[in-house]
Structure 1
Amino acid sequence: MSINCIRRLIEDAAISHPQKNALILNEKSLTYSDLLTKVNQVAFYLKELNLPKGSRIGVYSNKGIEQVIAILSILSTDYVLVPLTKLLKPEQVEYIIKDCDIKCIITDKLKLESIEEIKFDGHIISYETTHKEIASFEEIFKYYNKPYSCEINGHDNAVITYSFGITGTPKGIVISHRNLIDSARVVSQYLHLEEDDVISGILIFNLDYGLNQIFCSLYKRATLALHRFILASDFFNHLINDNVTVIPLMPINITQMFDEELQRLPSAELLSKIRIITSSGGNVTPKMLNIVQKYFVNAKFFSMHGLTEAFRSTYLDPSQINIRPNSIGKAIPDVELYVIDANGNECAPRVVGELIHRGGYIYKGFWNAPIETAERFKSIEILKNVINLEGQLIDEIVVKTGDYVYKDEEGYLYFVSRHDDMIKTRGFRVSPYEVESVVMNNIPQIEQCAVFSINNDEIEEEIVLVYSARSELSSKEITFELKKHLASYMIPSKIIYKKSLPLIPSDKNKINKQELKKEVLETI
């Protein structure tokens, strides 16, 4: 078996630390030995489905120990994991199922209804026993006790994650087994994770940042304490009761944590075991940073910047967070970053250019999307004016990120804007095109609409919908309709009616969003 796969970590941890808790959720726990046993049982059942090698298997459920078992079971086969966040609506799940031809879905009782609603005709496995036509983990754990072994190739496809990307419809990014092991290795290295750490499993497992919680725990033989964030008080109880030492967060989580009256928050002494906090998926505001440092007095704060096309590009060393809080830091180990202009020349300090990612952690490309792949994954020849390409070695692939940044005189990078108009809110990427399409397809009274963002310190960007119609519609009715088709984080928080929308002078078919945004900001 390849050394570059998560499966090897599971097996090795079960040998070296059999009785150590691998997973915790409230009063439940699972040792590394028991985790391997249950993963083997589910993996054995999956192989008995006799699906072609590389078949895609979706996991669509709420967070829990069974969800982690499902993820690791798929990664213990020659199938490919497709995480489906529970926030997705049935029609969005249906799109992903069709896009990558999912053959099997592992789910829970709550999400089973949604799967049945879209009339999925592949295999369905539920955590709980529901009815006799659907296999369950409960039955698998009872009856599947045969030895299981597997051979994993580190270069094979392991995961396809979906986010709302370049063209406005979800595009799957293909991640190899080696990508997963490399990402666990590098994060464990620069965070200095330890075997005794208890990592908070607060993030959902739909994208690489969330999945990396699992893999880092395995890599260091640490413990992953799962938590479903609902109330801030519950989250703090989780940190204290589970003896958490490492917290991976998104900026929206910081806002949620401290959305309480100050007298109800725990003392800094009770949170003193936290030694590492990481944040990715958006900007951390000075307000967020101040309150985190006030309550987590012993924690080193790592701000990180990642890509859709590669696991991660930068992190800001905790020693710099108060000196240059707006910086996204420098390249992570094994990565080289360049800032180039439109002519391919390296930008001088303080000059804005496009970020190019070279080196480790680059993913394989977009699933069934050659145009999008070609836009982002480029020959190293793009850097011919910057580095020496002796020997015509130009087969190497780099990522043309679409992120516009500048570096200061000491080499620290600062994010400026994105090439496209993607909205980042609550840790998610949202395509304005996706929201606009749902509006136009489902609310016939609306004649034109435009979706864009305005800054909001608490959630990074706030989604605004401006529309024209013969007469004003109820904002509540519009929101009610959009909630039928869009995930909650995609719903506009501001809905504004205008009799007409400004158009681009050179193209009367296109709305002038820049002018519209200016008008909206003047009225707020």
Structure 2
Amino acid sequence: MIMYEKYIGRHRDDYVTLEDLYKNFKVTCPDDFNFAYDVLDKLAEEKPDQLAMLWVSNNGEEKRITFAEMKRWSDKTANYFKSLGIKKGDLVLLVLKRSYLFWYAMMALHKIGAVAVQATNLLTAKDYIYRCQAAGIKMAVITADGDCTRHFDEAAPECKTVQMKAVTKHKDAGEGWLDFEAGIEAASDKWERPTGEEATKVTDMLIMAFSSGTTGYPKMVSHDHAYPLGHIMTGIFWHRVEPGGLHFTISDTGWLKSLWGKMYGQWLGESAVFTYDFDTFNGADILQKLEKYQITTFCAPPTMYRFMLREDVKSYNLLALKHCCTAGEALNPEVFNQWRQATGLRIFEGFGQSETTVCCSILYPWVQPRPGSMGMPTPGYQMVVADEDGKEVDPGVTGEICIKAPDYATKTKGLFMGYYRDEVNTQRSWHDGLYHTGDLAYRDELGFLWYIGRNDDIIKSSGYRIGPFEVESALAEHPAVLESAVTGVPDPIRGFNVKATIVLNKGYEPSEDMIKELQDHVKKVTAPYKYPRVIEFVTELPKTISGKIRRVEIREKDSRSE
């Protein structure tokens, strides 16, 4: 029996039809479920020598970690944390890039019942101040790479709740830093599952993550111990991981996407995870890794597929690769078609947020991708496309993507607990039995959802509601366009004009002729009223530290220049 079968009662392939999957898929979650004990430690007991992770450094160093070794090092890390006074309920900040130490720390905190708080190494002092003050961080574990420790030290005087700070590569740090690696090494590898008041319950907070902050300060998204089981749908049914396979999701550990593709669902499916600790994304480099390490399942944002497609993909031996997925932003049909032509593989899109696991996707083999569609609601999530009053709209009508969730007790496994220390935002997004995602889409007659954009990003022009993704997808089909961001600019007649801020591919130059060519192209590809009446060429687009385009920043810049 594969690990995930213990929690859904069946093998993935035992579901005969999509209707069978929707009707009978159910996750059983024990009241004391704890992923570190009930999945990792069980795998270490049952399959101690099976590979859990293949880690590759930026300079090619390799580290193969079995499930038994992962358990041992997480036990040692738990003992080290405990020796420092970390206990159940404490919040610990982890800024570890793609180091294997992140997995040791995560499993250790799960075992203690402490709350892991992920963060990216791109944070500056003001970012650390906000996060530590807002969450009440007790301890920070920081990578010595780059300027991370310097930025944290600048923030430290205002981070009153932080009692300890530990660092990797201790010799590179300044005063007051604990040596994280030496502390783990010296700790005992004997650890017992806590009982009594120190034991965890499935309703306890497991992790807390900061949202991307595309429109304001990041919100603090909290998840309970049932969250990993929500990723059965992510890893088993969407990523299609296999026992003994090697799954590669491109994500930094500073973001929840790393938990989507580098831990929970993959280990529940008894697949190893491939972790490449690179500093800068390079399409050719990633293709080389897919070939060299015979990656079997793969997930990356559409932008990274676009960069890989600028290489000669057909020249790489990718025969081991069986299944490809994407998430993080909407997938342009052009990227889908080019990747399929180059590899013979379809890209299976998925949709979710920091607040969810994958809640809409293309589920092979029951459903095949429809280029441009985000897929169908995944079993376990009851999704509706609703109007402003929360009433479901008819097929073809644009509305907000909402998830039925009467209250915390009846919510889907994988849906968040709420925004930590923020009842106002929790009530604003989760009310009347629905969690409101803030994303707009329409449903077609077959039940497929088609993404329109964030509610705040919709452009109202001459009575039309225009989603940025529709125009950006059209622009992506032109060879001159590397990436684009579509926003609205005020117009006294139309209300707003559609504006495209564009980064051109190498070999193309901004000009009036190029503007006309791109405008004509959009008119041919999509409804003519959507074409960008205003085009601005830039060398780069404003993005969050997670890489998502900040259209709000473009809008603010345009409003200041009026």
TM-score interval, smaller chain: 0.7 to 0.9
**Cα deviation digits, residues 27-55 of structure 1 (max 9, x gap):** 22111111111111111111222245311
Alpha-carbon distance, 1:141 to partner: 3.6
Is 1:202–1:249's contact at 8 Å kept on the other side of the alignment?
Answer: yes
Counterpart of 1:134 in structure 2 is 177
Partner of 1:363, secondary structure, is coil
Is 2:347–2:369's contact at 8 Å kept on the other side of the alignment?
Answer: no
Alpha-carbon distance, 1:239 to partner: 1.0
Higher strand share: 1
Report the TM-score, using the length of structure 1 for normalisation. Answer: 0.75
Is 2:118–2:255's contact at 8 Å kept on the other side of the alignment?
Answer: yes
Give the number of aligned pairs.
441
Q: Which runs of 5+ in 2 are unaligned?
A: 1-30, 57-61, 194-198, 405-410, 460-469, 490-537
Change (3 A) 1:20 1:124: same
Please say if 1:250 is aligned against 2:287.
no
- Which residue of 275, 279, 282 maps to 2:322? 275
Alpha-carbon distance, 1:459 to partner: 7.3
Change (3 A) 1:461 1:86: farther
Alpha-carbon distance, 1:165 to partner: 4.1
**Cα deviation digits, residues 75-103 of structure 1 (max 9, x gap):** 22211111001222232122111110111
Please say if 1:287 is aligned against 2:354.
no
d(CA) in 1 for partners of 2:285, 2:214: 37
Is 1:11–1:36's contact at 8 Å kept on the other side of the alignment?
Answer: yes
Change (3 A) 1:184 1:454: same
Is 2:441–2:452's contact at 8 Å kept on the other side of the alignment?
Answer: yes
d(CA) in 1 for partners of 2:552, 2:424: 34
Counterpart of 1:124 in structure 2 is 165
Counterpart of 1:13 in structure 2 is 43
Matches within 5 A, 1:147-296: 147-150=190-193, 151-165=199-213, 168-184=216-232, 187-213=235-261, 214-227=263-276, 228=278, 230-260=281-311, 262=312, 265-267=313-315, 270-296=317-343
Is 1:303–1:316's contact at 8 Å kept on the other side of the alignment?
Answer: yes
Is 2:487–2:551's contact at 8 Å kept on the other side of the alignment?
Answer: yes
d(CA) in 2 for partners of 1:153, 1:194: 29
Paired residue type of 1:330: M
Please say if 1:379 is aligned against 2:432.
yes
d(CA) in 1 for partners of 2:37, 2:318: 34
Report the TM-score, using the length of structure 2 for normalisation. Answer: 0.70
Paired residue type of 1:372: N
d(CA) in 2 for partners of 1:411, 1:496: 34
Alpha-carbon distance, 1:167 to partner: 6.2
- Which residue of 144, 149, 152 maps to 1:115? 152
Change (3 A) 1:497 1:203: closer
Change (3 A) 1:47 1:405: same
Partner of 1:109, secondary structure, is coil
Please say if 1:80 is aligned against 2:129.
no
Change (3 A) 1:374 1:247: same
Partner of 1:170, secondary structure, is coil
Counterpart of 2:450 in structure 1 is 414
Partner of 1:309, secondary structure, is coil
d(CA) in 1 for partners of 2:83, 2:365: 52
Is 2:214–2:552's contact at 8 Å kept on the other side of the alignment?
Answer: no
Change (3 A) 1:33 1:208: same
Alpha-carbon distance, 1:168 to partner: 0.9
Is 1:22–1:32's contact at 8 Å kept on the other side of the alignment?
Answer: yes
d(CA) in 2 for partners of 1:363, 1:277: 26
d(CA) in 2 for partners of 1:23, 1:334: 29
Change (3 A) 1:94 1:343: closer
d(CA) in 1 for partners of 2:264, 2:326: 17
Change (3 A) 1:225 1:253: same
d(CA) in 1 for partners of 2:484, 2:420: 28
Please say if 1:462 is aligned against 2:485.
yes
d(CA) in 1 for partners of 2:86, 2:34: 24
Counterpart of 2:134 in structure 1 is 99
Q: Percent identity?
A: 19
Counterpart of 1:24 in structure 2 is 54
**Cα deviation digits, residues 193-247 of structure 1 (max 9, x gap):** 2112101142112333221221122212211111125322221121122211011
Partner of 2:226, secondary structure, is helix
Partner of 2:219, secondary structure, is strand
Alpha-carbon distance, 1:161 to partner: 0.9
d(CA) in 2 for partners of 1:52, 1:4: 16
Partner of 2:273, secondary structure, is strand
Alpha-carbon distance, 1:67 to partner: 2.1
**Cα deviation digits, residues 229-268 of structure 1 (max 9, x gap):** 53222211211222110111111111222233x3xx4536
- Which residue of 324, 328, 351 maps to 2:370? 324
Is 2:51–2:244's contact at 8 Å kept on the other side of the alignment?
Answer: no
Is 1:300–1:318's contact at 8 Å kept on the other side of the alignment?
Answer: no
d(CA) in 2 for partners of 1:103, 1:42: 16
Is 1:35–1:69's contact at 8 Å kept on the other side of the alignment?
Answer: yes
d(CA) in 2 for partners of 1:497, 1:285: 23
Partner of 1:225, secondary structure, is strand
- Which residue of 399, 404, 415 maps to 1:362? 415
Paired residue type of 2:269: K
Change (3 A) 1:2 1:233: same
Is 2:359–2:378's contact at 8 Å kept on the other side of the alignment?
Answer: yes
Q: Which runs of 5+ in 1 are unaligned?
A: 381-397, 424-452, 467-478, 503-510, 517-524
Paired residue type of 2:456: D
**Cα RMSD after superposing both structures:** 3.6
Counterpart of 1:2 in structure 2 is 32
Is 1:6–1:215's contact at 8 Å kept on the other side of the alignment?
Answer: no
Q: Which moved more, 1:8-17 or 1:146-155?
A: 146-155
Paired residue type of 1:95: Y
Alpha-carbon distance, 1:342 to partner: 3.1
Change (3 A) 1:118 1:318: same
Change (3 A) 1:272 1:53: same
d(CA) in 1 for partners of 2:389, 2:550: 38
Alpha-carbon distance, 1:461 to partner: 4.9
Partner of 1:76, secondary structure, is helix
